[in-house]
């Protein structure tokens, strides 16, 4: 399927849903819209802004002033073409990921040529072939444009669509070595939700990898990011006229003051726990979403910063305080860049849980709205049922990430040491010496 055909078909699907009777239903789904990306809250904030009332004085609006200005511009200048703007932004995000995948696959091909002399003799089936290099970017584009999660996020007019474009631009500029542009896109991503700050580590790895003065390159990158982020904050304060937006945007993310249900893990725990344990669990959950996996993954996968960035993005999408399906769809679109890990020709397949994970994701995606209806409308279920589905959904994603990372490690080991034959497995023993 050609790229142009994919773009036209994906745009038609999105526009058809946007201008149908189902758009409002999708927009109101808790799996799609949260307090941080809801279009309804954006329009309310823009209305207050136009009447000279600060939208950050209450507890309705939690977007940045830059997003507020953009939303106000679309409502005033493009009221009949907002859907077209969202579709264009979403398609542009998919195309950006396509070019990211093209750059990354060429990077993998060059790395394989450099390391091929060190590989074992019987690993030809595990090598990256020209077909993988050519087809992976197309699969990435298709995985983003036709992923139901990203489609629903676009149709629901969530600001996650714009966040995905920023993240895609960050991945592209990072992969191509455009340091200043990478720092700018990272600053804008962090400005919106804070959590992408963990991507500063793979960005620093990329910038210092080809530099002779690595400490200086890292210091330059960190300084540039900090300066651009500070400039973005100052611009936001100039737009809003004060610094109240810091409380409305970032305090609600860090302290989880709003406990409306979503596909994350925060809301149920903080609803059920005793208040005097709240601070402990806030620290525990936020550390788990940001710093806990940063050091071990960075140490292990520093040789492949793109895989590191994708893994950190996926973990943030699972463990952040207010996740949505658009976040999940974005990192899933990156996975075809490692399609060679799905190698069925190997004696021991690299990824062994793909079918189980796929079934779990499909089942939980269907059960979520079903259980929500039983809980909210039929009153024949309760919050435990819905949280059970979201917990299973998060577990399936965790299995997906660990399966990809373990497959990557296993492939690296096999390339270096050769494939272990069946008759040799009996001779292997576990030694604790």
Q: Is residue 325 assigned to a domain?
A: yes
Average of per-residue pLDDT across 257-279: 90
Q: Is residue 427 assigned to a domain?
A: no
Q: For all residues of the chain together, what is the average pLDDT?
A: 90
Q: Is residue 115 assigned to a domain?
A: yes
Query: For residue 267, what are the domain limits?
Result: 3-419
Q: Of 348, 301, 334, 345, whose CA–CA distance to 400 is shortest?
A: 334
**Dist. CA 166–CA 187, nearest whole Å:** 10
Q: What is the pLDDT of residues 181-235, one digit of tens each?
A: 999 999 999 999 999 999 999 999 998 887 677 889 899 999 999 999 999 999 9
Q: What is the pLDDT of residues 20-72, one digit of tens each?
A: 999 999 999 999 999 999 999 999 999 999 998 999 988 889 999 999 999 99
Do residues 295 and 315 lie in contact, with contact meaning Cβ atoms separated by under 8 Å? no
Q: Is residue 431 assigned to a domain?
A: no
DSSP character string of 349-397: -S---HHHHHHHHHHHHHHHHHHHHHHHTS-SS-HHHHHHHHHHHHHHH
Do residues 324 and 34 lie in contact, with contact meaning Cβ atoms separated by under 8 Å? yes
Three-state secondary structure along 282-348? HHHHHHHHCCCCHHHHHHHCCCCHHHHHHHHHHHHHHHCCCCCHHHHHHHHHHHHHHHHHHCCCCCC
pLDDT at residue 355, rounded to an integer = 85
Q: How many domains does the chain have?
A: 1
Q: What percent of the chain has pLDDT over 90?
A: 75
- Of 7-16, 30-39, 126-135, 371-380, which range is least confident? 126-135
Q: Is residue 433 assigned to a domain?
A: no
- Of 59-63, 161-165, 167-171, 273-277, which range is least confident? 273-277
What is the band of 416 on the pLDDT scale with cuts at 50, 70, 90? confident
Coil, helix or strand for 233? helix
H-run or E-run covering 238: helix 214-240
**Dist. CA 238–CA 333, nearest whole Å:** 36
Q: Which residue has the tokens 């758009």?
A: 23
pLDDT at residue 208, rounded to an integer = 84
Q: Is residue 430 assigned to a domain?
A: no
**pTM exceeds 0.85 for this model:** yes
**Dist. CA 147–CA 271, nearest whole Å:** 32
Q: Is residue 432 assigned to a domain?
A: no
Q: Is residue 286 assigned to a domain?
A: yes
| Cα angle for residues 360, 365, 367 (degrees, 5° grid) | 95
Task: Assess whether pLDDT exceeds 50 at residue 432.
Answer: no
Task: Assess whether pLDDT exceeds 60 at residue 133.
Answer: yes
pLDDT at residue 99, rounded to an integer = 97
Average of per-residue pLDDT across 148-164: 96
């Amino acid at each position: 399927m050609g790229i142009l055909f994919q773009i036209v078909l994906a745009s038609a699907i999105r526009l058809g849903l946007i201008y149908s009777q189902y758009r409002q239903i999708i927009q109101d789904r808790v799996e799609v819209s949260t307090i941080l990306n809801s279009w309804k809250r954006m329009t309310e904030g823009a209305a207050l802004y136009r009447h000279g009332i600060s939208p950050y004085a209450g507890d309705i609006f939690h977007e940045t002033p830059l997003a507020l200005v953009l939303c106000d511009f679309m409502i005033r200048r493009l009221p009949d073409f907002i859907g077209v703007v969202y579709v264009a932004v979403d398609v542009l995000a998919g195309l950006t990921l396509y070019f990211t995948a093209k750059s990354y696959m060429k990077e993998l091909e060059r790395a394989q040529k450099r390391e091929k002399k060190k590989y074992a003799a019987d690993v030809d089936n595990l090598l990256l072939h020209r077909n993988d290099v050519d087809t992976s970017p197309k699969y990435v584009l298709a995985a983003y444009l036709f992923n139901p999660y990203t489609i629903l996020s676009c149709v629901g007019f969530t600001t996650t669509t714009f966040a995905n474009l920023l993240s895609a631009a960050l991945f592209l500029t990072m992969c191509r070595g455009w340091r200043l542009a990478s720092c700018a896109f990272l600053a804008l991503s962090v400005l919106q939700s804070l959590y992408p700050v963990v991507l500063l580590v793979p960005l620093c790895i990329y910038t210092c990898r080809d530099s002779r003065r690595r400490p200086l390159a890292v210091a330059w990158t960190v300084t540039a990011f900090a300066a651009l982020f500070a400039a973005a904050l100052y611009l936001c304060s100039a737009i809003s006229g004060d610094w109240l937006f810091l409380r409305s945007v970032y305090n609600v993310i860090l302290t989880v003051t709003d406990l409306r249900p979503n596909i994350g893990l925060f809301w149920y725990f903080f609803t059920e726990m005793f208040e005097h344990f709240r601070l402990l669990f806030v620290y525990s959950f936020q550390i788990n979403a940001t710093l806990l996996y940063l050091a071990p993954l960075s140490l292990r996968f520093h040789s492949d910063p793109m895989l590191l960035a994708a893994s950190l993005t996926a973990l943030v999408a699972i463990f952040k305080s207010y996740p949505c399906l658009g976040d999940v769809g974005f990192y899933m679109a990156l996975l075809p860049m490692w399609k060679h890990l799905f190698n069925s020709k190997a004696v021991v397949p690299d990824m062994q849980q793909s079918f189980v994970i796929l079934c779990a994701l499909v089942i939980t995606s269907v059960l979520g709205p079903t259980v929500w209806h039983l809980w909210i409308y039929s009153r024949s279920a309760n919050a435990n049922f819905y949280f059970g589905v979201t917990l299973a959904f998060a577990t399936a994603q965790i299995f997906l990430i660990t399966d990809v990372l373990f497959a990557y490690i296993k492939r690296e080991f096999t390339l270096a040491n050769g494939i272990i034959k069946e008759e040799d497995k009996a001779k292997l023993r576990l030694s604790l010496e």
